[in-house]
Structure 1
Amino acid sequence: MNDTNQIVDPVYNFAASPAFASDQIIFAARASGLYRSMDGGQSWQNAFDSLQSQEPIPASWVAVSPSFAQDQQVFAAVPGGVLRSEDGGQTWTVAMLATPTPFITALVISPNYAVDHLILAATMEDGVFRSTDGGAHWTAWNFGLFDLHIYCAVISPDFSRDQTVYLGTESGIFRSLNGGLGWREVDFSVEHAPVLSLALSPNFGQNNTLFAGTESAGLFRSGDGGQTWEKVISAEQVGSVSAVLNPKSVDVLVLGDEIILVSRDAGKFWQNWQDHLQFEDQLLCLAAPQGVESGAPLWVGLANGEIMQV
């Protein structure tokens, strides 16, 4: 157990370096700040220490550049804005979003970031903000977005071609086919909302498969980009679905209130990640930077502030 495990504050999400297998860098956003590990999660340090703030700066989300190995860019959502680092989290600059200050629930970065410099920030009550200059400036962009209460966001791995982004909201799911410039509601029953988590297949450009995790209706899968849906896990099995990962087209990880389920066949059959695995509090987030193969590291973040490798 390390220093961050002693701090009782929620862990909101993880972001690992795309080159994690070699550099061992992973970040954790939490209520007391942004924590960075450079040894594969063995020890953690507050990456905001260089800001010399008298009070903790909560980080609600963290994202790293797809070209992190080259540009060392990290983005952290903080109250009212986004902190940007170009040296792997050593130093930071701030860009404010709007007044009154929005609460950022997710940051998604274009897979083609080295060329388009596009980042989207989803917020709890103010819709979506776009940046096309690497997070230096932000503009609200909510054309067609009739529900501004956003809980999650995902961007297509084939974004340079299809320009597709999905949002999970209080009332359902919205999709953009032009890089977040305009939004249209997806045919997802409001009875199943709110949508807390989304995941796209890494082969989304070919199979159009996405997963939607809900607060009280279980997990749903679509194989046609969101036109039709089927329930693949019931709420009785998992409770709230706070996170979904689809690191390979056939491997899917689902994080429920107190359980982790894995499917090896794209969501047809599910089993416990580990038998007899128990947690002391609600599970909020997970990270599997090297996939879900046997022996690959998997981290979970709990509501009580604990970070566990399982």
Structure 2
Amino acid sequence: MAQKILVLLGTRKGTFIAETDTNRQSWTLRGPFCEAWPINHVIADPATGTIYAGGGNAWFGPAVWKSTDLGASWTHSSEGLAYPEGTEPVKSVWSIASGNGALYAGVEPAGLFRSDDGGQSWRHVAGLQEHPSRPHWQPGGGGLILHSLVPHPSDDKQLWVGISSAGVFHTADGGATWEARNRGTRADYMPEDQRYPEYGQCVHSLVMAPGMPDRLYQQNHCGMYRSDDGGQHWDSIEAGLPSTFGFPAVTHPRDPATLYLLPLNGDTAGRYVPDARAAVWRTRDAGASWQALRDGLPQDNVFFGVLRQAMATDKLAPAGIYFGTNTGELYASADEGESWNCVAQHLPTISSVETLVVAG
């Protein structure tokens, strides 16, 4: 059966959908959708094809948009996306994830919501904000946001989250209680004798290796890390990279040892690609070594950055790799990063990139 690939883009001015066939050479673009709201994350449920887009801001308020017809029409709901009266209001939805029959939303200020009816209504998973460290969480450069959601693929009680700048937290009981899982990750902005705190790290991206739920990768403000025990301990894998700083990290859809990063030149040096030359960095040995992938990417006077959720893979063989820039370009590789093409330009700042493969 013929297939097509939808690349789902969250941007500062709505949702866009880029489409192609399995050759991944000719592209069309649709959008903007979601009434041009600021959209931080767009995902799809591969089982149903339903697309969800989370966003908002202090003016619009938070909401999750939903399309059951591949973007032709949209509805949205914010029912239940609120903290108790008298507390700081929810400004926006920053991340969405589906897993084990539920839909999760991470919000700003950092907190977790769950929907059991496909995004029609939401309930606050209050256990996370009841963690003893909550009064000490501090906002990162983008605010105090819950931006990474990693459900366990088969255990509906387990979930990992990443919060800037509080760190990684894990629940094994469906969200009633949480444990900080940051041992081994640095906080270089802390005094020297406090560089490895229990919490307070600025995690930028958190992803799970395919087929190995205990293997997690983390791009942090202060390094790149791998854990093989569900985040209980982290080991640095940044040797060989041009920078310890970056935002997105994505795993190969089938190989747990293959990971893609897009490092930037540092937190105070402009936050663009090192040496103003674009490259995606790939490891095929779980971080023991790294290779720069540049073919087709611009190599002169490149000053874009790539945000934490703006990189993704598809599930084809060979896997497609995609990333969007803060200057509105979408790049695609149909050969696992060996070569690249720019497939869209002049979009608003791209906040997120995800994929969906459907019957063509």
**Pairwise same-fold verdict (TM > 0.5):** yes
Distance 1:45 1:232 in 2: 38
Going from structure 1 to structure 2, the CA distance change for 1:162 and 1:203 (only over 3 Å counts) comes to: farther
Match of 1:240 in 2: 245
Structure 1 position 94 matched with structure 2 position 76: yes
Give, in angstroms, the shift of residue 234 of structure 1.
5.5
TM-score relative to the length of structure 1: 0.79
2:219 aligned to 213, 217, 227, which one?
A: 213
Q: Quick check: 183-192 or 131-140, which moved more?
A: 183-192
Residues 1:253 and 1:291: Cα distance change in structure 2 (over 3 Å): farther
Distance (whole Å) between structure 2 residues aligned to residue 151 and residue 224 of structure 1 = 22
Q: Which of 32, 44, 47 is the equivalent residue of 1:64?
A: 44
CA distance in 1, matches of 2:259, 2:115: 30
Aligned equivalent of 2:232, options 214, 227, 252: 227
Kept in 2: contact 1:165–1:177 (CA 8 A): yes
Q: Closer, same or farther in 2 for the Cα pair 1:150/1:178, shift >3 Å?
A: farther
Structure 1 CA distance for aligned equivalents of residues 111 and 240 of structure 2:
27
For residues 288 and 61 of structure 1, do their structure 2 counterparts lie closer, same or farther at Cα, with a shift above 3 Å needed? same
The alignment status of 1:178 with 2:173, answered yes or no, reads yes
Distance in 2 between residues matched to 1:138 and 1:274, nearest whole Å: 43
Contact 1:151-1:196 at 8 Å conserved across structures:
no
| 1:172–1:190 CA contact under 8 A, matched in 2 | no
Mark the runs of 5 or more structure 2 residues left unpaired by the alignment. 57-61, 84-88, 138-143, 189-200, 265-272, 274-278, 333-339, 341-360
Q: Does the aligned pair in 2 maintain the 1:156–1:204 contact within 8 Å?
A: no
3-state SS of paired residue (1:26): strand
Q: CA RMSD in A?
A: 2.6
Q: Is the 8 A contact 1:186 1:226 kept in 2?
A: yes
Distance 1:125 1:62 in 2: 19
Equivalent residue for 1:105?
Answer: 94
Q: Which residue of 2 aligns with 1:253?
A: 260
**Higher CA-based Rg:** 2
In structure 1, list runs of 5 or more residues that go unmatched: 1-18
Partner of 1:191, secondary structure, is: coil
Moved more, 186-195 or 84-93: 186-195
Partner of 1:78: 55
- What amino acid sits opposite 2:73 in the alignment? T
Q: Name the one with the larger helix percent.
A: 1
Matching residue within 156, 163, 182 for 2:157: 163
- Matched residues in 2 for 1:84 and 1:65: separation? 11
Size of the aligned set, in residue pairs, is 272
Percentage of matched positions with identical amino acids: 24
- The corresponding residue for 2:9 is 28
